[in-house]
């Protein structure tokens, strides 16, 4: 399988007043196309910081992130926005859905940003929500959905514009164990059937062992 996403010697230093905090320390990681990789480590180990670098939400202090062999560093603001919209999808522990919008509207908005219009947009929205098992919950707002259902809407939204990679930051953090297994079963299915590439930060070793192809361990900003 070809390498799709990688970090090469990536470091990130945050300035906290007069103190420098090294969140990442020369981290290198390669993720192949169609691979499900879990990143584990204690709080403060740099897991989420690494995910933000790979998703183009933050820039390394040194080192480089590559997508399909292209470095992200030279990207203009417009190219970076396009990368975040079409190449990578992201889901988070807190779902980040718009509370006043229904499931359909939340997903449709992502497609609108991607440039899809009219009937095509409506049909793709319905297909995406059906794919995550929410055919009968499309008109419900987040407050009317369970945590597991909200995260499924978030997945449908993240996949709206056909990204190659899904970056998931503690996606099961707010779910009970049954819903967590259901959700990761769905993601595993997408890896197998749709050749989706997934990089997931999780503190749950049992889930990582059950669903990921391999586990990357981090400690003190380093891969161990």
Residue 118 DSSP SS3: helix
Q: Which two tokens stand for residue 65?
A: 């992130």
Does pTM top 0.85 for this prediction?
yes
Q: What is the mean pLDDT of the chain?
A: 92
Query: Is 80 exceeded by the pLDDT of residue 177?
Result: yes
- More reliable by pLDDT, 158 or 194: 158
pLDDT of residue 117: 86
CA dist., res. 52 & res. 60, Å (int)? 10
Query: What's the token pair of residue 41?
Result: 């480590």
Q: Is the CB of residue 22 less than 8 Å from the CB of residue 49?
A: no
116-142 average pLDDT score: 91
Could you read off the pLDDT of 23-57 as tens digits, one per residue? 999 999 999 999 999 999 988 899 999 999 999 99
pLDDT band at residue 114 using 50, 70 and 90 as cut-offs: confident
pLDDT band at 113 (very low <50, low <70, confident <90, very high): confident
Tens digit of pLDDT for each residue in 77-104?
A: 999 999 998 999 999 988 899 999 999 9
Residue 33 pLDDT? 94
117: three-class secondary structure by DSSP: coil
């Amino acid at each position: 399988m070809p390498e799709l996403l990688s970090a090469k010697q990536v470091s990130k230093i945050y300035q906290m007043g007069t103190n420098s905090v090294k969140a990442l320390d020369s981290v290198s990681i390669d993720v192949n196309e169609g691979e499900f990789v879990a990143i584990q480590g204690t709080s403060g180990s740099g897991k989420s910081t690494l995910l933000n670098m790979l998703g183009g939400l933050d820039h390394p202090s040194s080192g480089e992130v590559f997508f399909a062999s292209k470095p992200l560093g030279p990207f203009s603001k417009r190219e970076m926005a396009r990368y975040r919209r079409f190449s990578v999808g992201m889901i988070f522990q807190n779902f980040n859905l718009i509370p006043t919008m229904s499931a359909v509207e939340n997903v449709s908005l992502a497609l609108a940003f991607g440039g899809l219009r009219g009937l095509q947009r409506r049909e793709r929205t319905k297909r995406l929500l059906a794919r995550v098992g929410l055919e009968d919950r499309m008109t419900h707002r987040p407050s009317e959905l369970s945590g597991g259902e909200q995260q499924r809407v978030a997945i449908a939204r993240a996949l709206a514009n056909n990204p190659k990679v899904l970056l998931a930051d503690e996606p099961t953090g707010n779910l009970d164990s049954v819903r967590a297994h259901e959700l990761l079963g769905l993601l595993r299915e997408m890896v197998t059937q749709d050749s989706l590439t997934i990089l997931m930060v999780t503190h749950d070793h049992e889930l990582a062992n059950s669903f990921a192809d391999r586990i990357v361990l981090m400690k003190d900003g380093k891969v161990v």
